[in-house]
Structure 1
Amino acid sequence: MAERFFAPCPRGLEPGLQDELTALGASQVRQVPGGVAFAGDWPLAWAVNLESRLATRVLWQVAHGRYRGEQDIYKLAYGVTWAKWFTPEQTMRVYVTARRSPLKSLEFITLRIKDAVCDHFRAVRGARPSIDTANPDVRVHAFLTADEVMLYVDTSGEPLYKRGFKQAAVEAPLKENLAAGILRLTGWHPTEALLDPMCGSGTFLIEAVQIALDIAPGLGRRFAFEALKTCDEAAWRRIRRAAEGRRRHATGLPIFGSDSDAVQVKRARINLEAAGLADMVRLEQAELTERTPPADEGVMVANPPYGVRIGETSELAEFYPKLGDALKANWAGWRCYFLSADPELPKLIRLKASKRTPLFNGALECRVFEYKMLAGSNRREKP
């Protein structure tokens, strides 16, 4: 019988995640704001954890019911056969989110679900799991609507955007699944040149190389489902080996990165080396407004400074017009994509965006602005 799962993702990437899940063989695939529900067997869930570039987690639904008060939620959680899936020697943590729930305290609901799980273990095993809020073996998630509660076991553990190799971080990093989703939105193909001229820690670059070489994004890490009793270790090893054997090999790719800050270039290089991909990307220190294109045409993608990251408003007002001038002067034949939470970006850059795609970077509402640089066609007239 098919199990039911839910894969959250950054808001705006639900259509791409639905395509991923369908390609992996999921059934009953259904988008909701912030994720995609689907059904399938356990090997599918393992494969989604390993292969999905866009999902944040894969949650396994273990209970669903209606409630009027906290005691109804306790009863539902107590009735779940937790001891079939993990042991009292393993640690756990409960997470609760809600939308339009009439209950006043999510902290109290969290405590009641934790009590229900522990009471279940005492009844059937004579011992209860310990609580670990930092690095639990098992994560139990509850989601409440106005009158329904869903209980899930997290099969992923650490969020799936933590690919398992990044060493050098930046102050405001772009999550890997959001970067992969933006690359998908650009329509970039690995035969095209790709440039991130503000590469920071190299997130766009690493995701692009993994896409080009068909490297499963989860090969560098472990998952929470490996510690559950439902995991068939031999079957899981076969899935991993198949993914490892699928990797393409190349001597070089038309993928380029640069940054005006030498420290950022060094961070990108460290992370590419940690991922074993340093030979696939050409990195250099360069200012976007001054550098030349690495190819006659291609895709530029960047997460430029905006809001608090660049500091004073005057710096924004000075930088973006220069960016527009540079794109117009030097980048004909390129499709350029910028993620920004600043709605004034199109006005400051003085180019007409051909598309604006809404996305959420965490809780921050952003847009991906697309500029198709065709000679003589994009500049807005100054008032």
Structure 2
Amino acid sequence: MENFKMIAKTLFGFEEILAKELQQLGAQEVQLGTRMVSFVGDKGFMYKANLALRTALKILKPIYHFRATNETNLYKGIQGIDWSKYMNSNQTFVIDTTVHSENFKHTQFVAQKCKDAIVDQFKDKYGQRPSVDKDYPDVRINIHIDRDQCSVSLDSSGASLHQRGYKTATNIAPINEVLAAGMLLLSGWDGSSDFLDPMCGSGTILAEAAMIACNIPANINRKEFAFEKWSDWDNDLFDQIVNSLMKKTKEFHYTITGYDKAPSAVMKAKDNIRNANLDDYIKISERNFFETEKENKGPLHMVFNPPYGERLDIHLERFYREIGDTLKQSYPNTNAWFITANLDALKFVGLKPSRKIKLFNGKLETRFAKYEMYEGSKREKFQNKENN
């Protein structure tokens, strides 16, 4: 099988983690970009990337590149591709566009012009044309224009890869699965300790933590990928890739726990965890984090997404102060990470974060902050080091 270049799209701040994931999977020529990483692999690797990457949103297969300064160039460029290689006139397609150009102001105009070029080619050659289906297309085409450079790619994923397939119920302020997985990997979570999400909402962070701990492919529960409708779809190869990935799963010997004080959230989280076939690894209970304390003696890894005040009406100052107090008083020997879009709220925690990473949750700029809670005081810990 021949190798070709691909592009994995991701969220801001996850480029290096995604590159590392690709290298560990066996990708060649891995190169970082902005919100994307390019790499080289064959068709089997394309299937594997879609199944296994935790921080990728899409896997694109570039097929053509040309210069376009106006709508005539754009139309001719798209017509320069032999579209019968990628679809037939009975199939449906859709065009997604990203435009950063002075020459083209509207993504919809670009999509319309590209659609016309494809449809006209089929009509001229075969006397009939494929139609557009925005919801369930057979072929999804990605057009990216940067100044006067136009890249045309086939989207091998279809719906965004954050749609893992296990989540049927979400809570009031859900977190994207790719964002959850990226936060966990940034926090250093590798399954070698107990884990707690003390405000678990619909259970996304818990599910992603369990899949990382057990090395379960991120998209194993997903119903379909766009490449399954391509003319070169190889079902046997796909099954081989799935089997080889599932052979690499591993056992997990610690606890993964989720708390939420809302009964509705606990119910939704349990449903989602069951859908993901992860209920053997995760225990969820209805509890208010501020009334809990650490259950086991060993180290604890904590990652959570507290309310930002963007959607939920809480008294932020008191709420964030309680997070700090609970960590300080009840959670020794814990690495606690949480994400917030309320940048002022971090001032109320009353603890100094040892790290702060800029991320985006949708369009919201956030900080992902780490708090290291030592056994005894920090000072004692350093004194003990000096005395040993």
TM bracket (short chain)? over 0.9
Match of 1:308 among 283, 305, 310: 310
Is contact 2:173–2:307 with CA below 8 Å preserved after alignment? no
Kindly state the Cα deviation for residue 301 of structure 1 after the two structures are TM-superposed: 0.7
Rate the CA distance shift 1:71–1:307 in 2: closer, same or farther, 3 A. Answer: farther
Look up the match of 1:381. Answer: none
**Structure 1 residues 249, 355: closer, same or farther in 2, change over 3 A?**
closer
2:86 aligned residue:
85
Give CA deviations for 1:131-173 in whole Å, capped at 9, x if unaligned. 1112222111111111111111100011111111211112321
Aligned partner of 1:228 among 227, 230, 235: 230
* Residue in structure 1 matched with residue 370 of structure 2 by the alignment: 370
Gaps of 5+ in 1: 379-383
Aligned length: 375
CA contact (8 A) 2:6 2:39 kept: yes
Change (3 A) 1:124 1:235: farther
RMSD over equivalenced CA pairs, Å: 1.6
Deviation at residue 214 of structure 1 after TM alignment: 1.7
The verdict on how the C-alpha distance between 1:125 and 1:244 changes in structure 2, with shifts beyond 3 A counting, is farther
SS in 1 for 2:207: helix
1:323 is matched by which residue type in structure 2?
I
CA deviations over 1:18-73 (Å, ceiling 9, x no partner): 01112222222211111111222211111100110110010110111111101111
Q: Paired residue for 1:34?
A: 35
1-side partners of 2:247 and 2:70: how far apart?
Answer: 51
Structure 1 distance, partners of 2:119, 2:25, is 35
Check whether the contact 2:189–2:209 (CA below 8 A) recurs between aligned residues: no
Q: Any unmatched runs of 5+ in structure 2? A: 380-388
Alignment-derived partner of residue 154 in structure 2: 153
For the Cα contact (< 8 Å) 1:86–1:227, is it kept in 2?
no
SS of the residue corresponding to residue 116 of structure 1 reads helix
Contact conserved, 2:99 with 2:105, CA < 8 A, in 1?
A: no
Alignment of 1:213-224 (within 5 A): 213-221=214-222, 222-224=224-226
What's the CA shift for 1:249?
4.8
SS in 2 for 1:29: strand
Asked whether the equivalents of residues 191 and 254 of structure 1 are also in contact (C-alpha less than 8 Å), the reply is no
Cα distance in 1, alignment partners of residues 25 and 344 from structure 2? 39
**1:16-35 pair list within 5 angstroms:** 16-35=17-36
- Asked whether the 8 Å contact 1:310–1:316 carries over to 2, the reply is no
SS in 2 for 1:173: coil
> Paired residue for 1:57?
58
Instruction: Please say if 1:324 is aligned against 2:324.
Output: yes
Paired letter, 1:39: V
Partner Cα distance (2:121, 2:30) in 1 = 32
Note if 1:247 corresponds to 2:252: no
**Residue 335 (structure 1) aligned with residue 335 (structure 2):** yes
Scaled by the length of structure 2, the TM-score of the pair is: 0.93
Moved more, 77-86 or 348-357: 77-86
Partner Cα distance (2:26, 2:250) in 1: 22
Q: What's the TM-score, normalizing by structure 1?
A: 0.94
Matched, 1:257 2:258: yes
Relative distance call for 1:27 and 1:101 in structure 2 (3 A) is farther
